[in-house]
């Protein structure tokens, strides 16, 4: 009897679509992950259907996304105006929509379900039971980990999510962790069985994120050749801590008033937009550095790569990151990264080899780290030279290899290997 194979895969990404622009709303690294892996799985001969919640009446119910990849927009609740916190109330409706889609097909249409984030996992294990196929689950973020290291002003994750994640950990046939650290968190904080946790690191698209002409990138972006550029990319939310960069930049501007500093922040407000504005402009005004701020809307990957090429340093000051794709993408472009030593960032960034890791979020510590890279051309060039080769170790093809191995194990019912 041959090794079991996945022919047709159902991917559940309930709260955010892989077609959405990363860096705004609820779209971020998970969107990139789902899109990149789906495309490459399809290139390996697997038909991929992605179930996501419809957020506009203008969306097609079934939309071809890439060759071999279809996105199904499932109506569950109103199209607009629902925050992520409101979505648990729509799980039943979403599940019904997914079941109806499958009911139109021949029995055994899907071979496996891969759910992303806990809301999708809640749907995923119901689909698993109904369709009689394995469930593989990727958490992407974990509520208990987030609550351990909350940013100032951030609300703790609710009890309902904690319970929901615990349920998914029990129900899933396989759990995908981005790093050994996340695998340990799943086991120690959620009681995950070690034999069903697979470690599969995310990747980076080096066709888009690659070294390029720094001065040309600056000219395209309207940045002066002599400016010291500190960059940030991501959703504007307390968890991502862009305020830490702004406050550290104010310290540097005070220390070195003779230098031309620029803080480039690429991203949008997290959530549906009904929350209060991010307040970074007001913070900069209070700190007296309004003239240094360069706030930009979320950008397409090609444009974001130019921001990274133009930067002297890319800051990733998050309070928690399961991996940190922005750090990897920046390094692939040859940008040194200064990142918080949390979650998967110590894996994504090689401390003092491709960037610097900062323990904690003390503003003076962050100013010191940013200063040491931005004002030391020898260190900056050394980090920059090593960064692309490090990032290239994390390819999406290797990620898909790991996912396929996990899928085969799920189909065969064999135990996982943690930390391979």
Binding residues for UDP-N-acetyl-alpha-D-glucosamine: 21-22, 29, 235, 240, 321, 329
Total residues belonging to the chain: 420
Phi-psi region of 271 (alpha: psi -120 to 50; beta: other; left: phi over 0): left
Burial of 198 (0-12, 13-18, 19+ CB in 10 A): buried
Contact 300, 362 (CB under 8 A): no
Separation of alpha carbons 67 and 26, rounded Å:
25
φ and ψ at residue 69, rounded to 5 degrees: -125, 125
List Cα–Cα distances, 368 to 143, 192, 257, 295, 353, in angstroms. Answer: 31, 39, 15, 23, 17
Separation of alpha carbons 337 and 356, rounded Å:
6
Separation of alpha carbons 102 and 110, rounded Å:
8
Quickly tell me which residue has 């000051």 as its tokens. Answer: 317
Q: Which residues are annotated as a binding site for Mg(2+)?
A: 308-309, 311
The vertex-291 CA angle with 287 and 292, nearest 5°, equals: 80
φ and ψ at residue 284, rounded to 5 degrees: -60, -40
List Cα–Cα distances, 87 to 3, 77, 79, 222, in angstroms. Answer: 38, 8, 12, 41
Separation of alpha carbons 385 and 335, rounded Å:
9
3-state secondary structure of 327: helix
Q: Which residues are annotated as a binding site for 1D-myo-inositol 3-phosphate?
A: 15, 26-31, 84, 117, 141, 161
Q: Which residues are annotated as a binding site?
A: 15, 21-22, 26-31, 84, 117, 141, 161, 235, 240, 308-309, 311, 321, 329
Beta bridge partners of 233: 266
End-to-end alpha carbon distance in the chain: 26
Separation of alpha carbons 169 and 258, rounded Å:
54
**Token pair listed for 33:** 């992950």
**Token pair listed for 245:** 């960069």
Separation of alpha carbons 215 and 230, rounded Å:
15
DSSP string, 229-242: EEEEES-BSGGG-H
């Amino acid at each position: 009897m041959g090794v079991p194979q996945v022919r047709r895969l159902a991917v559940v990404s309930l709260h955010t679509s892989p077609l959405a622009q990363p860096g705004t709303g609820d779209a971020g690294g998970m969107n990139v992950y789902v899109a990149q892996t789906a495309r490459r799985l399809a290139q390996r001969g697997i038909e991929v259907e992605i179930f996501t919640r419809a957020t506009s009446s203008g969306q097609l119910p079934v939309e071809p996304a890439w060759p071999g990849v279809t996105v199904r927009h499932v109506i569950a609740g109103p199209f607009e105006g629902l925050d992520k916190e409101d979505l648990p109330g729509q799980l039943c409706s979403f599940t019904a929509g997914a079941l109806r889609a499958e009911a139109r097909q021949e029995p055994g249409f899907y071979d496996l379900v891969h759910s992303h984030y806990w809301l999708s996992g809640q749907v995923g294990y119901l689909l698993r039971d109904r369709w009689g196929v394995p469930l593989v689950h990727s958490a992407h973020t974990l509520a208990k980990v987030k609550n351990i290291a909350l940013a100032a002003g951030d609300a703790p994750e609710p009890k309902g999510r904690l319970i929901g994640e615990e349920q998914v950990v029990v129900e899933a046939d396989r759990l995908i962790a981005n790093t050994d650290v996340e695998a340990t968190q799943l086991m120690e904080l959620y009681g995950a069985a070690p034999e069903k946790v697979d470690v599969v690191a995310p990747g980076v698209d080096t066709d888009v994120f690659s070294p390029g002409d720094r001065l040309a990138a600056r000219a395209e972006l309207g940045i002066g050749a002599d400016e010291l550029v500190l960059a940030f990319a991501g959703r504007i939310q307390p968890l991502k801590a862009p305020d830490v960069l702004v406050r550290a930049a104010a310290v540097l501007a005070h220390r070195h008033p003779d230098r031309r500093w620029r803080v480039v922040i690429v991203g949008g407000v997290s959530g549906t937009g009904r929350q209060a504005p991010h307040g970074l402009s007001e913070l900069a005004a209070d700190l007296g550095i309004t003239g240094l701020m360069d706030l930009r809307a979320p950008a397409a990957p090609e444009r974001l790569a130019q921001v990274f090429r133009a930067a002297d340093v890319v800051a990733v000051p998050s309070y928690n990151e399961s991996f940190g794709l922005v750090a990897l993408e920046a390094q692939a472009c040859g940008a040194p990264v200064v990142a918080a030593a949390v979650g998967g960032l110590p894996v994504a960034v090689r401390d003092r080899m491709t960037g610097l890791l900062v323990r904690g979020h003390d503003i003076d510590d962050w100013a010191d780290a940013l200063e040491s890279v931005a004002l030391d051309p020898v260190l900056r060039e050394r980090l920059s030279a090593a960064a692309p080769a490090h990032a290239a170790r994390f390819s999406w093809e290797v990620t898909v290899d790991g996912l396929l191995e996990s899928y085969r194990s799920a189909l065969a019912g064999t135990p996982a290997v943690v930390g391979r």
